């Protein structure tokens, strides 16, 4: 069977056209901040919708994704989601036993990438460890409502399920106990993440140092000769008139 050159070229053009068409019509993608996988970008998604989606993924985190050594006990905490209502908004802090920590704002934005910094990892692990001590004061979560203003809600993630409790900021400040210690530990995580963010912003946006200004070379000093005042030469003395001898001499 003889294959003509124009047939090969036609097939290649068809393949290239199909690839171009698929790429042009495929939705834009981004990397999921929790899993690192590529996901489709929701173009019309509002900041609050993006926040709720990230919050849900944090609460539904699979402990296998964390790559923790050994096997977790059914009631062993591997993650904490601490939320605080402030001024008609909500701040969500999600920490995990591997040291990862993330902050999300209901109004949009947040902080991620804390797992790459030792201070953040240590603070995040401390929060999860303190959550283990507070499990006795929590109940199994069946719903996941947002806290109201000045309210603080904790979700503790375990292999058996999610446990939760809620209280007020005022009570956490007035009393000493497991929940107060848990809240203080969460604030420490946020403080460490803010320090990292400030340092990152400083390194990113700091203007480069100005080059040293070249010192101008001093101009050579030209010794100026003092000007001698002009004075006209002395006038020659007038010629004395010759004496005329007397007549008849």
pLDDT digits (tens, 9 = 90+) for 158-208: 999 999 999 999 999 888 889 999 999 999 999 999 998 888 777 765 555
**pLDDT on residue 249:** 46
| Cα–Cα distance list, 122 to 46, 60, 78, 99, 119 (Å) | 33, 23, 14, 7, 5
Angle at CA 44, nearest 5°, toward 33 and 201? 45
Please report how many Cα atoms fall inside a 13 Å half-sphere around the Cα of residue 228, on the Cβ side. Answer: 3
Q: What is the pLDDT of residue 173?
A: 86
DSSP class of residue 210 equals P
Determine the Cα–Cα distance for residues 123 and 118; give it in Å rounded to an integer: 9
Provide the pLDDT for residue 34: 45
pLDDT score, position 175: 81
End-to-end CA distance of the chain: 160
Which residues, at least 6 apart from 85, have a Cβ–Cβ distance to it below 8 Å?
146, 147, 148, 149, 150, 151, 152
Output the CA torsion 42→47→53→56 (10° steps): 180
pLDDT of residue 35: 45
CA-CA distance, 82 to 234, in Å (whole number)?
A: 109
d(CA 165, CA 130): 14
Domain segments of the chain: what residues?
A: 46-204
| Residues in the chain with pLDDT values less than 70 | 1-4, 6, 8, 21, 24-43, 204-249
């Amino acid at each position: 069977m003889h294959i003509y050159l124009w047939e090969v070229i036609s097939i290649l053009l068809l393949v290239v056209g199909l690839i171009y068409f698929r790429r042009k019509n495929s939705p834009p993608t981004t990397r999921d901040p929790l899993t690192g996988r590529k996901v489709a970008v929701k173009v019309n998604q509002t900041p609050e919708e993006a926040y709720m989606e990230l919050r849900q993924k944090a609460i539904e985190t699979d402990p296998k994704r964390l790559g923790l050594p050994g096997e977790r006990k059914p009631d062993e905490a591997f993650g904490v989601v601490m939320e605080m209502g402030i001024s008609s908004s909500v701040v969500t802090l999600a920490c995990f036993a591997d040291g990862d920590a993330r902050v999300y704002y209901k109004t949009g934005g947040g902080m991620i990438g804390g797992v790459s910094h030792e201070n953040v990892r240590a603070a995040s692990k401390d929060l999860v460890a303190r959550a283990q001590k507070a499990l006795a004061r929590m109940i199994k979560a069946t719903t996941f409502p947002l806290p109201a203003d000045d309210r603080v809600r904790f979700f503790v993630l375990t292999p058996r399920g999610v446990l939760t409790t809620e209280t007020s900021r005022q009570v956490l400040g007035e009393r000493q106990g497991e929940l107060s210690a848990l809240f203080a530990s969460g604030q420490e995580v946020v403080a460490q993440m803010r320090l990292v963010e400030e340092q990152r912003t400083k390194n990113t946006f700091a203007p480069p140092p100005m080059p040293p200004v070249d010192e101008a070379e001093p101009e050579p000093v030209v010794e100026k000769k003092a000007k001698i005042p002009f004075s006209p030469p002395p006038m020659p003395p007038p010629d004395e008139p010759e004496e005329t001898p007397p007549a008849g001499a």
